[in-house]
Structure 1
Amino acid sequence: MRWHKSNFLAFVLDLMLVAFGWWLAFWLRFNLDMPDEFQVMMVGTLPWPLLGFGASLLVWGVYRHIWRYTSVAELTRLFYGVVFAGLLSASAVLMLRVGSFPRSVLLLHPMLVLLLLGGARVSARLLLVNRAQSALTGKPLLLVGSVQDAAAALSALRGARLWSPVGIVSPIATEKGRNLQGLSVLGGLADLHRIAESTQAAAALVVLAVGSDARREVLMGASEVSLPLLTMPRPDEWLRSEDGQPRRIELEDLLGRVPVVLDEKGLSDLIAGETVLVTGAGGSIGSELCRQIARFGVARLVCVDVSEYAIYQLEQELRRAHPQMQGLYYTANVRENERLLAIARLHRPTVVFHAAAYKHVPLMESLNEVEALRTNVLGTLNAARVAGAVGATRFVLISTDKAVNPTNVMGASKRLAELVMQSVATEYDSTRFVAVRFGNVLGSSGSVVPLFTAQIARGGPVTVTHPDIVRYFMTIPEAAQLVLQAGLMGQSGQIFVLDMGEPVKILDLAKILIRLSGKNEQEIPVVFTGLRPGEKLYEELLANGETTAPTPHSKLHVAKTSSPDRLNPDAVLKDIESLGGAPVPSSLRAWLQSLVPEYSVR
């Protein structure tokens, strides 16, 4: 341990307290009237407890901590150091065989030293913390959460000079009036507006644990008050933040999902130093997959997308963020098998992630049905066969919860894509083919969040199709990370289902976004427009007759599908090509239903 001046001063002070304790133990032993001969004995034996305690406290690392942050852990270390020192001192004195030595001193002394040294540390902490509190000049801040949650956040907040905590607002009624490190619990959520006015709070910091059941409910209630809502940075944000200051609440915080834990070693072994191909690389999920793959040290990343602008943006971002990585950026359509095969043969990818798809339900429901089949089904057939042809070890299809008991062409086309992938899996033994289903992704293109945000920016109204419609949501990074994890696991032909947490009412989502913008429903009204063609009130992650099997990862399950007989991919290809450029919608749907029996035409 490297010693600073403060460590040396603390060591000297401790030895002075040890000496004082030695004198005090003698003084108490003789009822505050110590005979002269015992005063001489006390002085003559003093070097031994000083040596014993000095050595023991050093060995137990008592001087590694800072007094102003003294906690139970430091006091526990001090206790063991004092006990050990007491045994050393007693042994040394007893071996000297000092005549008529009062042995009760050997018991009293460690007890007194523990009180003196512990008291000095606690007093120093109280003095320094009170001085720091009196010097706070930051804006007044309310903590919203239980006393336990507030305690966990206060230590981090001490260094946040911009804010000065003034009180706690707890959702637990019985905590009102309690005190934590000088902060009082001033009331419950119903009193937030009154408390904010009385304390002149500039913001409220939500300190409830991420993933707790009460978090979203508390945030919904707190957001009724026109008070900026803050939260502490997430662990990944602490690494990028210079000062760990509280930040504004975002939509992801209100949904409150526990961060994904990945098999970092397994993914590194799969990706590091390899060639990976991603289709639909310019899309929301595809681009995040590319970011995550780059993070795991891929040697060559082959990015394919039909959009020139999207692939250009991705190229600029990845070249800047990962200059050491070899990135190859192709404008190509997965519906063109020869082009896709030529790219794959040139680079021989080890892993292929197939994210290219048409996913907008109403757009694919009328006028564009055949486009959904060509991209979602034929594109998957081409990408899967290309992966097998070039000897890729893994192929991962990005699927959707809308493939379960589909009521629209887009969902049925994705279910057919899953069946096509499973059929192709029987053609290539050396490639492991898997699909991953998940629900809506926050902020992805075509999702409700960008739509609502744009509507709010225009002054409203916010359009919701139905007051009871619910959807599953996850963040883009979470979805991409679980896709990577699924690619690492399982057997060929399996379909993975992600744990999407609890479904969210779209109406609640709209209200949250309105309140986060600093408005209310009177200023930005919500208008119900009715369900769109092919839209369901709720989405499922499993079809009727399907069950799941657990995997080593808590957020991934394997769907045990009761699928029909294996499809003939070549027959599917021929049928789609024969539909022509403008097929009769009813005929197209009838053909699709013949291959996907659970598809319900509405």
Structure 2
Amino acid sequence: MFYYLATTLTRLQKRAIFVILDILMIPLALFAALLLNGSTEVQLSLLTNLVPLMGAMAVLGTGVSIYLSIPRIKLNAYETRGIIRTALHGTALGIIGAVVNMLFTPSIPGEVFFIFSLFYLVASASWRIALRQFLLNYVYRKGQRRMRVLVYGAGRTGQQLVAALRTDDAILPVVFVDDNPTLQTNVVAGLQVHAPSQIKELITRLAIDRVVLAMPSLPQARQSRIALDLRELGCEVHALPSFAELVGQGEMSKQVTPVSLDDLLGRNRLETELPGVSHAYSDRRILITGAGGSIGSELCRQLIACRPHCIVLLDHSELALYNIEKEMRDLAGDLTLVPVLGSICDDDTVRQVLTKYKIDVVLHAAAYKHLPLVECNAIAGLRNNVIGTKVIADAARDVGVERFILVSSDKAVRPTNVMGASKRLAELVVQDLATRSANTRFSMVRFGNVLGSSGSVIPLFEEQIGRGGPVTLTHGSVTRYFMTIAEAARLVLLAGSFARGGDVFVLDMGDPVPIHKLARQMIEGAGHTVRDAAHPDGEIEIMITGLRPGEKLHEELLISPDMLTTPHNKILRAQESYLSEIEMANAMKDLRRAIDSLDEDAAKAVIARWVERSADEDRIEDAQIS
């Protein structure tokens, strides 16, 4: 019944009820004030004579209440400012009563109205608070499962967060944790503050679902360290910026696209569905090539939880290697880290690293991946992506590495560009070695665009929206598969644990996402409107620039439709053909000759001969011309 009334009454009806309850508090408060004032004898005749006074106070007091907008204050928003308005209302009623009392007999002592004002404040505020607690706990939220949150940080941001969450029907702040010893054991914003050493026990005892780091002033490395420790306890962790940073000063915050990742992906994220892989990498010596890149750096972070013996970070970019090595030093504790500045094309360096550090697992993420750049620099792209893969894969087989996992791309499937062809040739190199390796298990993992990686479409759209547009799109019908960096890294690690030799692993990524739809979502998510023929007054235009050389309309993940299952239902094993040993040797010989002579036409002839071309390429080229 209470739920029915609370959900069916109109806002006007609820305000009328609030006014009536406030009016009922007037005789109650006046009667209490008379009792508390010892100089006045309370008799029935006195109370009868006071009816006109109470009527006048009720009428005039209702006007004051409406003027102060007290009936408009929602119960779940009735806090300090609401109590201040109620105090002003009570004071006004006391003054009204004292003035009107002078016109009536018998006269009531002036101090009675002072007591009345105080009692009215207590009574009026109390019924609101009590009604709010009753409705929230026994009507609206009855039987509802609320997310239980531990707030790490009892400072200003943490207190503001708790105050905001108290009115939320889906989230319940349960407890504070703070590093400051002076706050521990105290109660802040109604919640007990505990020491960080008690987190594990608190998560278990209080059934915590999520931990929110509310310490925006803490260095990023320290926040990452805390988040890593908490994730190992099996609890979801989120970091919260300060509320001042959320609002921003001057220009809008850089985060201009508050669109959920599930919307961008076109499916639910799989981080929580993909199983752990600690057993496959525990106490292993691991080499990560391209360790400073988007995928390589995430592989480094996820491997920390696997407790490997050591991680060797190989990258030819000094800045990228410096950044990931510095971050890992802060996160990894006593884990052995070895930064190596070098190229995967340098056979001597690669073999020395594999031998010196007795590498067990190679995660090969190093590659040039930006399609237009590789298209303009075909020789450099083929040297790095194909010859580099051949160098490190040969060395891994020769020194007896246990497992070698190549990070590939959906652009390797029937490619129409040099970058995709270079990744397909790299796959063929690994597939060839897999047929002739007795000790090393070679495998590949293939996925689509990674959200947030360098050069991906999301940061580009964010930048364009941030400066007011236009948002550039190469073709109105372009679609792409998307996944998160965390999904991509976990898939690579799982591929290594599932590998039997020569495998091509593919993630079930759902349906491809139309990029035009993605652009529209991001523009509207940033609070803007799209300007087009139907809406000429819109704020940001989506401009079609034409397909870039070698760009596909639709990417694919499979060359052959034949698929095998794996221990996880979201990960599939593709069955694909590959070149024979003689064919592979001829292809590599011709490619090396073209690269050494810087003959781009000869290099593209090797691609045309040995890499299966997309049947849609001619249609795509026609689309570019038109």
TM-score range, shorter chain: 0.5 to 0.7
The one-letter amino acid of 2:318's match is E
The one-letter amino acid of 2:549's match is P
Residue 587, structure 1, aligned to residue 602, structure 2: yes
- Of residues 332, 336, 340 in structure 2, which corresponds to 1:326? 336
2:552 matched residue in structure 1: 536
The one-letter amino acid of 1:292's match is Q
The one-letter amino acid of 1:431's match is T
- Residues 238, 244 of structure 1: 8 Å contact kept: no
- Of residues 237, 240, 261 in structure 2, which corresponds to 1:240? 237
- Please state how far the C-alpha of 1:455 moved relative to its aligned partner: 1.4
1:412 matched residue in structure 2: 421
1:78 matched residue in structure 2: none
- TM-score using structure 2 length: 0.58
Distance 1:238 1:518, change over 3 A: farther
Map 1:7-406 onto structure 2 (within 5 A): 131-132=132-133, 154=146, 161-163=163-165, 239-241=236-238, 249-254=258-263, 255=265, 256-260=267-271, 261-264=273-276, 267-366=277-376, 368-406=377-415
Tell me the secondary structure at the aligned position of residue 335 of structure 1.
Answer: coil
**2-side partners of 1:470 and 1:511: how far apart?**
14
**2-side partners of 1:305 and 1:155: how far apart?**
42
The one-letter amino acid of 2:507's match is L
1:575 matched residue in structure 2: 590
- Please state how far the C-alpha of 1:390 moved relative to its aligned partner: 2.1
- Please state how far the C-alpha of 1:536 moved relative to its aligned partner: 0.9
**1-side partners of 2:262 and 2:418: how far apart?**
33
- Residues 470, 540 of structure 2: 8 Å contact kept: yes
Tell me the secondary structure at the aligned position of residue 385 of structure 2.
Answer: helix
- Please state how far the C-alpha of 1:151 moved relative to its aligned partner: 8.0
Q: Deviations over 1:417-468 (max 9, x none)?
A: 1111111123321110000110000011111111111212222111011111
Distance 1:133 1:515, change over 3 A: farther
- Please state how far the C-alpha of 1:575 moved relative to its aligned partner: 2.2
1:189 matched residue in structure 2: none
2:452 matched residue in structure 1: 443
**2-side partners of 1:595 and 1:492: how far apart?**
22
- Please state how far the C-alpha of 1:293 moved relative to its aligned partner: 1.0
Tell me the secondary structure at the aligned position of residue 442 of structure 2.
Answer: strand
Q: Deviations over 1:5-60 (max 9, x none)?
A: xxxxxxxxxxxxxxxxxxxxxxxxxxxxxxxxxxxxxxxxxxxxxxxxxxxxxxxx
The one-letter amino acid of 1:132's match is Q
- Residues 258, 526 of structure 2: 8 Å contact kept: no
- Residues 442, 499 of structure 2: 8 Å contact kept: no
Distance 1:490 1:299, change over 3 A: closer
- Please state how far the C-alpha of 1:353 moved relative to its aligned partner: 0.4
- Of residues 529, 539, 547 in structure 1, which corresponds to 2:562? 547
Distance 1:130 1:595, change over 3 A: farther
Q: Deviations over 1:78-98 (max 9, x none)?
A: xxxxxxxxxxxxxxxxxxxxx
- Please state how far the C-alpha of 1:129 moved relative to its aligned partner: 9.2
Aligned residue-pair number: 396
Residue 427, structure 1, aligned to residue 436, structure 2: yes
2:209 matched residue in structure 1: none
Q: Structure 1 residues 472-481 or 551-560, which shifts more? A: 551-560
**1-side partners of 2:240 and 2:543: how far apart?**
42
RMSD: 3.4
Distance 1:493 1:567, change over 3 A: farther
The one-letter amino acid of 2:237's match is R
Distance 1:250 1:304, change over 3 A: farther
The one-letter amino acid of 1:433's match is F
Residue 504, structure 1, aligned to residue 513, structure 2: yes
Q: Deviations over 1:202-258 (max 9, x none)?
A: xxxxxxxxxxxxxxxxxxxxxxxxxxxxxxx9x969643599999995542423524
**2-side partners of 1:466 and 1:153: how far apart?**
45
Distance 1:577 1:322, change over 3 A: same
- Residues 506, 573 of structure 2: 8 Å contact kept: yes
**2-side partners of 1:457 and 1:495: how far apart?**
39
**2-side partners of 1:566 and 1:498: how far apart?**
29
Tell me the secondary structure at the aligned position of residue 399 of structure 1.
Answer: strand
**1-side partners of 2:465 and 2:580: how far apart?**
49
The one-letter amino acid of 1:516's match is G
- Please state how far the C-alpha of 1:565 moved relative to its aligned partner: 3.0
- Residues 392, 431 of structure 1: 8 Å contact kept: yes
1:598 matched residue in structure 2: 613
Distance 1:151 1:448, change over 3 A: farther
2:93 matched residue in structure 1: none
**2-side partners of 1:489 and 1:298: how far apart?**
18
**1-side partners of 2:369 and 2:241: how far apart?**
38
**2-side partners of 1:133 and 1:245: how far apart?**
32
- Residues 412, 599 of structure 1: 8 Å contact kept: no
- Residues 461, 527 of structure 1: 8 Å contact kept: yes
- Please state how far the C-alpha of 1:524 moved relative to its aligned partner: 2.3
- Residues 160, 243 of structure 1: 8 Å contact kept: no
Distance 1:593 1:567, change over 3 A: farther
Distance 1:167 1:425, change over 3 A: closer
The one-letter amino acid of 1:574's match is K
Q: Deviations over 1:59-78 (max 9, x none)?
A: xxxxxxxxxxxxxxxxxxxx
